[in-house]
């Protein structure tokens, strides 16, 4: 009887830890912090107006309030734990957001590439898929900028 209770408590504790790790609020906040980190590692000082507009759009889509966004922008975070989304398609979308943020002000800097790759590794996607998505988006963005068309 006692071992069964211990097993049940252990399983409940593991479920609690899993739910805590993937809480939607932590996932959204860490994604916004990752985007802010990439925006701040560009050549311009801080976050540019174009990057701020993109952050506002992502914040609206991910249900992060404007107040939370400005709080994250105001209080810089040097180190934080990146919490990836649970679903595969959300992880791919997060990678696409990171790549788009790199290209908002022209060609990305080396620091932006390093930060993007660091966050992409935390998404637990296969390395080949990360490279393929990054390369395809990079080429599409460069091509659309040559034609002066917004990327669809």
Residue 100 lies inside a defined structural domain of this protein:
yes
Could you give the CA distance from residue 61 to residue 42 in angstroms, rounded to a whole number?
A: 24
Residue 12 lies inside a defined structural domain of this protein:
no
Residue 130 lies inside a defined structural domain of this protein:
yes
Residue 142 lies inside a defined structural domain of this protein:
yes
Residue 14 lies inside a defined structural domain of this protein:
no
Residue 5 lies inside a defined structural domain of this protein:
no
Residue 101 lies inside a defined structural domain of this protein:
yes
Inter-residue contact 33 to 73 (CB < 8 Å): no
pLDDT tens by residue, the chain, 152 residues: 556 676 666 666 666 655 555 568 888 888 898 899 888 887 777 788 888 888 998 888 888 888 988 988 887 677 777 888 888 888 888 998 898 888 888 778 888 888 888 888 888 888 898 888 888 888 888 787 777 765 55
Say which residues have a Cβ less than 8 Å from residue 28's Cβ, sequence separation at least 6: 62, 63, 64
Could you give the CA distance from residue 19 to residue 23 in angstroms, rounded to a whole number?
A: 6
Which CATH number does the domain housing residue 31 bear? 1.10.3680
- The predicted pLDDT at position 15 comes to 63
Residue 17 lies inside a defined structural domain of this protein:
no
Could you give the CA distance from residue 71 to residue 6 in angstroms, rounded to a whole number?
A: 42
DSSP state of 93: H
List the domain range (segments joined by +) for residue 122. Answer: 23-146
Domain count, the chain: 1
């Amino acid at each position: 009887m006692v071992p069964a209770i211990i097993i049940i408590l252990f399983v409940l504790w593991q479920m609690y830890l899993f739910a805590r790790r993937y809480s939607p609020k932590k996932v959204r906040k860490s994604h916004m912090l990752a985007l802010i980190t990439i925006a701040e590692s560009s050549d311009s000082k801080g976050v540019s107006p174009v990057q701020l507009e993109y952050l506002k759009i992502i914040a609206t889509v991910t249900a992060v309030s404007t107040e939370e966004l400005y709080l994250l922008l105001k209080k810089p975070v040097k180190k934080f734990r990146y919490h990836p989304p649970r679903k595969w398609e959300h992880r791919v979308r997060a990678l696409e957001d990171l790549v788009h943020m790199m290209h908002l002000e022209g060609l990305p800097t080396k620091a932006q590439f390093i930060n993007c790759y660091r966050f992409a590794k935390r998404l637990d996607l296969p390395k080949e898929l990360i490279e393929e998505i990054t390369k395809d988006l990079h080429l599409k963005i460069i091509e659309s900028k040559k034609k002066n068309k917004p990327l669809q």
